Amino acid sequence: MPEFQALRSLSNVNRSGMAASMENSFHQPVDAARVPRFAGLSTFMRLPAVPSAKGLDIALVGIPWDGGTTNRAGARHGPREMRNQSSLMRRVHHVSGTEPFSIANVADVGDVSVNPINLLDGLKRIEEGIAAIVADGALPLAAGGDHLTTLPVLRTVARKAPVGMVHFDAHSDTNDRYFGDNPYTHGTPFRRAIEEGLLDPKRVVQIGIRGSIYEPGEHDWATSQGIRIIYMEEFVKRGAASVMQEARDLVGDSPTYVTFDIDCIDPSMAPGTGTPEIGGFTTREAQEMVRLLDGLNFVGADVVEVAPPFDLAGMTALAGATMMFELLCVMARSLADRRARG
């Protein structure tokens, strides 16, 4: 039997037999105890590839576009490599015990349409692709792509009202113009998002900011809008629990987006990115922080800036894929808990 048929026939069977698929019709990853994880087609977390987000709670989607990159390009290749590395994910979160595929219907909806040679058309296509997911009632969990891809995503999830945002990054991404008068780069998405009324800046927290900047006062605009910037040095002093408690208090229970730029992690652990900055989070610190987002009122999330051309042995794509799994677990749990509460 060809591999793709094998994947399909096993797609509703999980490791504990038929229990989950009898309880519900949620998609299940291919059973790694029956089909080894290096075999078969590459989809996010070995879930079925589906043509739309209809019936899904959470849609895993690729945004293979780096048209906003100002330095080293390559994040356009991120989704494919994160799909590959995500085949290492298993079904159950080892700390929380969350079984995301049993409590939420999750699948890989493929990549949005992009245009690698036209920035504005690229942004338009990404927005249309994510808007279709949102219209189907699913939360997008996106794999970028550079950080400008988050802007068209926010245009869909914040269409009705501004949302809050927990933002892990080495960079604030709130600059104004590049190379003359160009408003759209991966260094500007959150300035544009605030101008467009997509973000409530008083409910935005940026964590892990560091590295040299273009000019003194570069972050003044962001802080004047009310954004809370937690520089890496403050994180080192306070630790994850304290910082995340503040982040949770700040965004509250209102709709919130989570964006995870892989360059928040130290380049010794995540070298495959376009704008690396030393002195970053360990992967373990990043996992600890994302786990503390449990129960958030998610409108979506993403992992961006994985640039495979600069990666070593897939380690950055693995970090990115694992952070997607961490995000998926807290998103699925939050959705299920909120439904149970009515």
User: CA 69, CA 76: separation in Å to the nearest integer?
Assistant: 10
- 169 near Mn ion, judged by CB under 5 A: yes
Q: Which is nearer to Mn ion, 77 or 171 (CB)?
A: 171
Pick the stretch among 55-63, 141-149, 230-238, 248-256 that binds Mn ion (CB under 5 A).
Answer: 141-149
Q: Which is nearer to Mn ion, 105 or 275 (CB)?
A: 275
Q: In a 3-state reduction of DSSP, which class is residue 181?
A: coil
Look at the block and give the residue holding tokens 């390559």: 74
Pick the stretch among 78-86, 236-244, 260-268, 278-286 that binds Mn ion (CB under 5 A).
Answer: 260-268
Pick the stretch among 45-53, 71-79, 161-169, 212-220 that binds Mn ion (CB under 5 A).
Answer: 161-169
CB of 277 to Mn ion, least distance (A): 10
User: CA 177, CA 223: separation in Å to the nearest integer?
Assistant: 18
Number of residues that bind Mn ion (CB under 5 A): 5
Q: Which is nearer to Mn ion, 100 or 144 (CB)?
A: 144
- 261 near Mn ion, judged by CB under 5 A: yes
User: Could you give phi then psi for residue 51, rounded to 5 degrees?
Assistant: -75, -20
204: which 2 tokens? Answer: 């935005």
CB burial of residue 40 (10 Å; 0-12, 13-18, 19+): middle
213-242 residues near Mn ion, rule: CB under 5 A: none
Residue type, 100: P
- 210 near Mn ion, judged by CB under 5 A: no
Residues 6+ apart with CB under 8 A from 164: 199, 200, 203, 204, 250, 251, 252, 254, 255, 256, 257
Pick the stretch among 120-128, 145-153, 203-211, 222-230 that binds Mn ion (CB under 5 A).
Answer: 145-153
The 98-137 site mask, x for binding Mn ion (CB under 5 A), equals ----------------------------------------
Strand order in the sheet with 58-63: 106-111, 58-63, 139-144, 298-304, 256-261, 163-168, 199-209, 228-231
- 147 near Mn ion, judged by CB under 5 A: yes
Q: Which is nearer to Mn ion, 9 or 71 (CB)?
A: 71
Pick the stretch among 106-114, 130-138, 165-173, 333-341 that binds Mn ion (CB under 5 A).
Answer: 165-173
Pick the stretch among 21-29, 47-55, 60-68, 259-267 that binds Mn ion (CB under 5 A).
Answer: 259-267
CB of 321 to Mn ion, least distance (A): 18
Q: Which is nearer to Mn ion, 169 or 200 (CB)?
A: 169
Instruction: Give 84-115 as a 3 state SS string.
Output: HHHCCCCCCCCCCCCCHHHHCCEEEEEECCCC
CB of 173 to Mn ion, least distance (A): 5
User: CA 23, CA 204: separation in Å to the nearest integer?
Assistant: 38
**What pairs with residue 168 in β-bridges?**
207, 260
| Cβ atoms 317, 85 nearer than 8 A | yes
Among 127, 173, 277, 285, binds Mn ion (CB under 5 A): 173
Binding site for Mn ion (CB under 5 A): 147, 169, 171, 173, 261
